[in-house]
Chain A
């Protein structure tokens, strides 16, 4: 574990990503406690530019709401949606891929055709349709993001399991009479996990983008402010009031960048053989 942390911190990009991510999480967790004002409340006159008043450092939007408060509260929604939908996608993709890879044959064929069915539909279009049908709410958004993002997980896990299944230690487990479930859970999955962890960190970033895109189109949860919603709401007045879209946009950029850097760092730390060496 110590070794792993050292490896992770050795790459400067991973370190930068980690710092960004920690800041974002801290904002999401503690921000609303420090700024208890609702982001929906009108606090000043509309279109107040940033850095003009210390009480509203990033200005106000078209309805006089505090942009800074919006970003702080939006962090919670964005990160939560990213995290929960990724966990949900993993919960679907890992078992499906593991079963397909382990049993092979017809089971594999059936499960992979099912997976391909989801992969052939453009994911964003499917997400829009799902949210539209289910009514926009935080739950329907998480569910639709999870539904469109599990297929790559299933395919990745299947590939890993396929190659691990023929390892001698898995055969040894079969020979000693262990059950299929136990073998998958104890012998195969722990060894298949590192690429999945890397993929998951990148999926959180994609999920944040997806949620922002949905909110931008007005399909966000109407009761929760999110960065995508703010960008969408400020879009019509971008020429008069750039700050309404730029600051939440920057927040999205930074957190996605942070996650990608962490993913890269994780990749280098978990697959040291694939890491680019000095030459």
Chain B
């Protein structure tokens, strides 16, 4: 290693408030950040990776206390700084890029003003100089039409542009250290690829030390020079990216890497000869937001002539970036929102024509698994009630429904005793299993899974995917699987439909789609999936 470290973190130990799941959020963590190097701190949720980043910025919440350790930066221990010392350092020497650019930017200030604020806060430059600097920064981070964009408000920018603006602000005072806390997690894959490249380029050009927090090994493979793997607040393994990704020493790292779904779809038998479970014909949905008196109405086509069918026992993937309308299609199929035009046929009935009781009766044939395991279970009802409410509404005997809820919990790999407990007592993966049990309680023919594994850690994600695959085969279900993650789609789908701006641009069997995409947009999506040139999957 050439230079001496820009930041040394030594034996950092941060205590959580008593009574929590564990005593320390960060437990004896030590690593260095070197100038001109990107260190990726990886870990699953709750591993303490964000806590490390916040400690480095002096942004720890009031409820935690730093017990031991030091963070040495330019000869000073940062943990001994007072608020004034921090204020002087933040932004100027150490800067941060946050996960969610929409909430990290002030919606009422123009982009340029927010950049200028960086100089203002440290009393640098005259207003004219600041304006010029802001413009130069906008140009440097590749914002289109810099002169126009510094006068724009955050809501007028796309997610990627907002993240570029955030990066520009972080770079404004030429900090020595950049802390990036999941900066691309909220972005689409194609945008993510651009932002990663931008961070890489800027870091090289300015010889910064970058601490990059992420949960995504694909991103790690693309950007990291060195990797620190965290688990339960402790460092499991650290080393060069090459070492950790291709020859991990620890079992945990190996397990994490093995859980990352491969981009190579497993072989699947064609199912075209089977009957159709669902037929979706010409689905149209347009959202109109009234623009008021002086502006034209804003219209968004969420679904535009969407046609597809799912064969019995088949999993059809619906992939696309945010705003492509894939979730709208799921909700249209479920009749959670009403279509402007079009038909959804399940077997011989037309779901779009039903009303009231007949609709409620037929709903049991098609059930949904939701994205957010924390929002999809009513916090004030017991798990048993959550699962048995549906069957009871359809006239099942409450006692039998309860017994069945117990069996279903067993089926999804949970203990039957869970029916007496409340959702908050379970982890994310367990909650998602409860959501699956709820969907299965009505013996559906079709499952609609809307980003059902997106909120889960990779290792849990792999388990839930296995469970879905297994249940589908055992119960003969058909599935509409909505995801933004092409790796996941490759593993679970028989055929994949690619959506863009409300339309399906391509629908092909999975293997064919990955091998030879027909539409240029599909190729673009495939190319943007992080972590590709270096193959990740390591034999466990």
Known: A177-B361, A191-B378, A191-B380. A172 touches B438 (CB 8 A): yes
State the CA gap A279–B389 with chains docked (Å). 44
* Residue B54 CB within 8 A of the other chain: no
Among residues of A, the one whose C-beta sits closest to the C-beta of B390 is A176
State the CA gap A114–B332 with chains docked (Å). 33
Which residue, A169, A175, A179, A277, has most C-beta atoms of chain B within 10 A? A175
Chain B interface residue count, Cβ-Cβ cutoff 8 angstroms? 28
* Residue B197 CB within 8 A of the other chain: no
Q: Write out the residue numbers on chain A whose beta carbons fall within 8 Å of the beta carbon of B390.
A: 176-178
State the CA gap A279–B336 with chains docked (Å). 43
State the CA gap A177–B394 with chains docked (Å). 7
Q: Are A172 and B379 in contact (CB under 8 A)?
A: no
Q: Are A177 and B381 in contact (CB under 8 A)?
A: no
State the CA gap A69–B128 with chains docked (Å). 77
Among residues of B, the one whose C-beta sits closest to the C-beta of A278 is B62
Interface residues of A in 160-195 (CB under 8 A from B): 167-169, 171-179, 182, 186-187, 190-191
Among residues of B, the one whose C-beta sits closest to the C-beta of A187 is B378
Q: Write out the residue numbers on chain B whose beta carbons fall within 8 Å of the beta carbon of A171.
A: 336, 368, 370
* Residue B363 CB within 8 A of the other chain: yes
Q: Are B375 and A169 in contact (CB under 8 A)?
A: yes
State the CA gap A186–B378 with chains docked (Å). 9
State the CA gap A190–B438 with chains docked (Å). 20
Among residues of A, the one whose C-beta sits closest to the C-beta of B442 is A176
Q: Are A172 and B435 in contact (CB under 8 A)?
A: yes
Among residues of A, the one whose C-beta sits closest to the C-beta of B373 is A168
Q: Chain A nearest CB: distance from B431 CB in Å?
A: 11
* Residue B360 CB within 8 A of the other chain: yes
Interface residues of B in 337-385 (CB under 8 A from A): 360-361, 363-364, 367-368, 370-372, 375-381
Among residues of A, the one whose C-beta sits closest to the C-beta of B376 is A168
Known: A168-B370, A186-B389. A175 touches B363 (CB 8 A): yes
Q: Write out the residue numbers on chain A whose beta carbons fall within 8 Å of the beta carbon of B389.
A: 173, 176, 178, 182, 186
* Residue B334 CB within 8 A of the other chain: yes
Q: Are B62 and A177 in contact (CB under 8 A)?
A: no
Of B360, B375, B435, the residue contacting A167 (CB under 8 A) is B375
Q: Are B378 and A169 in contact (CB under 8 A)?
A: yes
Q: Are B367 and A169 in contact (CB under 8 A)?
A: no
State the CA gap A189–B532 with chains docked (Å). 48
Q: Are A177 and B393 in contact (CB under 8 A)?
A: yes
State the CA gap A187–B386 with chains docked (Å). 10
Q: Is the interface of A mostly helix, strand, loop or mixed?
A: helix
Among residues of B, the one whose C-beta sits closest to the C-beta of A182 is B393
Q: Chain B nearest CB: distance from A10 CB in Å?
A: 15
Known: A168-B376, A182-B393, A278-B62. A175 touches B381 (CB 8 A): no
Q: Are A172 and B370 in contact (CB under 8 A)?
A: yes
Q: Are A168 and B375 in contact (CB under 8 A)?
A: yes
Q: Are B393 and A178 in contact (CB under 8 A)?
A: yes
Of B62, B361, B370, B442, the residue contacting A277 (CB under 8 A) is B62
Q: Write out the residue numbers on chain B whose beta carbons fall within 8 Å of the beta carbon of A179.
A: 360, 393
Flag A135-178 by CB within 8 Å of B: 1 or 0 each: 00000000000000000000000000000000111011111111
Q: Are B367 and A175 in contact (CB under 8 A)?
A: yes
Q: Are B62 and A172 in contact (CB under 8 A)?
A: no
Among residues of A, the one whose C-beta sits closest to the C-beta of B372 is A168
Q: Chain A nearest CB: distance from B215 CB in Å?
A: 22
State the CA gap A171–B337 with chains docked (Å). 10
Q: Chain A nearest CB: distance from B310 CB in Å?
A: 17
State the CA gap A210–B381 with chains docked (Å). 38
Q: Chain B nearest CB: distance from A197 CB in Å?
A: 14
Among residues of A, the one whose C-beta sits closest to the C-beta of B361 is A177
Q: Write out the residue numbers on chain A whose beta carbons fall within 8 Å of the beta carbon of B364.
A: 176-177
Known: A168-B372, A171-B336, A171-B370. A176 touches B363 (CB 8 A): yes
Known: A190-B380, A191-B379, A191-B380. A175 touches B393 (CB 8 A): no
Q: Chain A nearest CB: distance from B381 CB in Å?
A: 7
Of B360, B361, B376, B394, the residue contacting A169 (CB under 8 A) is B376
Q: Write out the residue numbers on chain B whose beta carbons fall within 8 Å of the beta carbon of A174.
A: 336, 363
Q: Write out the residue numbers on chain B whose beta carbons fall within 8 Å of the beta carbon of A169.
A: 375-378, 386
Known: A168-B372, A168-B376, A187-B378. A175 touches B62 (CB 8 A): no
Among residues of A, the one whose C-beta sits closest to the C-beta of B370 is A168
State the CA gap A180–B376 with chains docked (Å). 18
State the CA gap A179–B392 with chains docked (Å). 11
Q: Write out the residue numbers on chain A whose beta carbons fall within 8 Å of the beta carbon of B394.
A: 177
State the CA gap A279–B83 with chains docked (Å). 13
Q: Write out the residue numbers on chain A whose beta carbons fall within 8 Å of the beta carbon of B361.
A: 177
State the CA gap A92–B393 with chains docked (Å). 27
State the CA gap A229–B399 with chains docked (Å). 57
Flag A248-279 by CB within 8 Å of B: 1 or 0 each: 00000000000000000000000000000111
Q: Write out the residue numbers on chain A whose beta carbons fall within 8 Å of the beta carbon of B386.
A: 169
Q: Write out the residue numbers on chain B whose beta carbons fall within 8 Å of the beta carbon of A168.
A: 370-372, 375-376
Q: Chain B nearest CB: distance from A175 CB in Å?
A: 5
Among residues of B, the one whose C-beta sits closest to the C-beta of A170 is B378
Q: Are B375 and A176 in contact (CB under 8 A)?
A: no
Q: Write out the residue numbers on chain B whose beta carbons fall within 8 Å of the beta carbon of A277.
A: 62
Q: Chain B nearest CB: distance from A60 CB in Å?
A: 54
Among residues of A, the one whose C-beta sits closest to the C-beta of B441 is A176
State the CA gap A174–B442 with chains docked (Å). 13
State the CA gap A186–B379 with chains docked (Å). 11
Among residues of A, the one whose C-beta sits closest to the C-beta of B365 is A177
Pick 8 A–B contacts, CB within 8 A, sort by A: A168-B371, A168-B375, A171-B370, A172-B435, A176-B363, A176-B438, A177-B394, A277-B62
Kindly list the 10 A-B residue pairs having the minimum CB-CB distance in the complex, ordered from nearest: A176-B390, A168-B376, A177-B360, A168-B370, A169-B378, A178-B393, A177-B363, A190-B380, A168-B375, A175-B368
- Known interface pairs A173-B389, A174-B336, A175-B367; 17 further A-B residue pairs with C-beta atoms within 8 A, sorted by A's residue number: A168-B372, A168-B376, A172-B438, A173-B378, A175-B336, A175-B363, A175-B368, A176-B367, A177-B360, A177-B363, A177-B393, A177-B394, A177-B442, A178-B389, A179-B393, A187-B378, A187-B381
